[in-house]
Structure 1
Amino acid sequence: MDRLQGSAWQYVAEVLRPEDLPMLAAHALADGHDSPALRELAGLSRRSDATELRELYVQALSELDVPLPDEETAGRRLLVSLAFGLVQGALSPKEVGDGLSMTVTAHTQEETQFLSVAAEYSEWIEPDDLPAWERELQVAAQLLTASTDLGPGIRTSASRHD
């Protein structure tokens, strides 16, 4: 999955920040994509108006025939990206718990289990309970990554945790 296509689900899942869109557009141009809106977006500052950045991004995707997924698909991709991030060591268990958004949905038994365990995270979790929760989350993440049809090509969205 190329960077621009991958960004579409991140945008819908609300983990792609508007201020990151100009750099994403610049990378997309370097990757060989081209459209008037993409060029305009790449030329804007990350401090530009967030609404303008979003509108140009959606327009660029449309011009390039890159569809925006529905919320359910985007939420599932977010969930799987968090699981892959944990399994690959790119995300900590806390970052997984913090990375959940309102758009996360579960479709399979493994997604439901991972979401259920991840949603149990809270800053008020007792220190004695944390290691058991982390182990349970790791197991659920491994089961999900081994069973998903969404694939390992999903990149984690580190930009959410900057």
Structure 2
Amino acid sequence: MAVIGWLQNSAWQYVAEVLRPEDLPMLAAHALVDGHDSPALRELAGLPRRSDAAEVRELYVQALSELDVPLPDEETAGRRLLVSLAFGLVQGELSPREAGDGLSMTVTARTEEETQFLSVAAEYSEWIEPDDLPAWERELQTAAQSLVASTDLGPGICVSASRHD
């Protein structure tokens, strides 16, 4: 994926709150190494991992602006998160539990498939009965496959790192 592509990917992850502030300086450093440059990007890349989160966020948003990478609105970011989780599940990169746990913000589903996936994913809880877990996992897998087959958001979006590391 091109750097601007993964920077665009990081923009929705940032809005969806799955990209942690401590990961942003390294993201900026990779962008610089790959030939993209802006004053805020350079400053962000030079920050230590444990820098002030507010300063890191401000520099990240400024760097995206300088590179003409727009931040999506919350609805778009939430939809991309849903599709990303569905693709991760279908491609075997996420377990059903990880997909359910991956919902990090209030998301708005626009399509019937997004609504179904969100509804099933939201049913997961650590208190789900062990006997009910296989049926939930099958229902989530089915909803994910339906969403992946119908989405206009594409497979190039993915959650690059777990929020729960």
Indicate the TM-score class for this superposition, using the shorter chain for normalisation. Answer: over 0.9
Q: Percent identity?
A: 91
Ranges in structure 1 where 5+ consecutive residues have no aligned partner: none
Query: Does the C-alpha gap of structure 1 residues 159 and 45 become closer, same or farther in structure 2, counting only changes over 3 Å?
Result: farther
User: What is the alpha-carbon root mean square deviation over aligned residues?
Assistant: 0.9
**3-state SS of 1:161 partner:** coil
Give the Cα separation in 2 of the matches to 1:18 and 1:55. Answer: 10
Task: Return the alpha-carbon distance in structure 2 between the equivalents of residues 76 and 5 of structure 1.
Answer: 14
Deviations 1:26-53 (A, max 9, x none): 1111222110000110011111000010
Partner of 1:71: 74
Say if 2:13 and 2:159, in contact at 8 Å, map to a contact too. Answer: no
Q: Which runs of 5+ in 2 are unaligned?
A: 1-6
- Alpha carbons 1:82, 1:96 under 8 Å: kept: yes
Whole-angstrom distance in 2 between the partners of 1:42 and 1:102: 27
Within 1, Cα distance between the matches of 2:115 and 2:141?
A: 14
Quick check: 20-29 or 100-109, which moved more?
Answer: 100-109
Cα contact 1:114–1:141 (8 A) shared by 2: yes
CA distance in 2 between partners of 1:47 and 1:101 (Å): 22
Contact 1:36 1:60 in 2 (8 A): yes
Counterpart for residue 120 of structure 1: 123
Separation in 2 of the partners of 1:153 and 1:129? 32
TM-score normalised over the length of structure 1: 0.95
- Contact 1:79–1:105 under 8 Å retained in 2: no
Report the TM-score when normalising by structure 2. Answer: 0.94
**Shift of residue 160, structure 1, vs aligned partner:** 1.5
1:11 to 11, 14, 23: 14
Q: How many residue pairs were aligned?
A: 159
- Cα distance, 1:112 vs. partner? 0.3
Shift in alpha-carbon separation, 1:69–1:37, aligned structure 2, 3 A: same
Q: CA deviation at 1:156?
A: 2.1
Range 51-60 or range 30-39, more displaced: 30-39
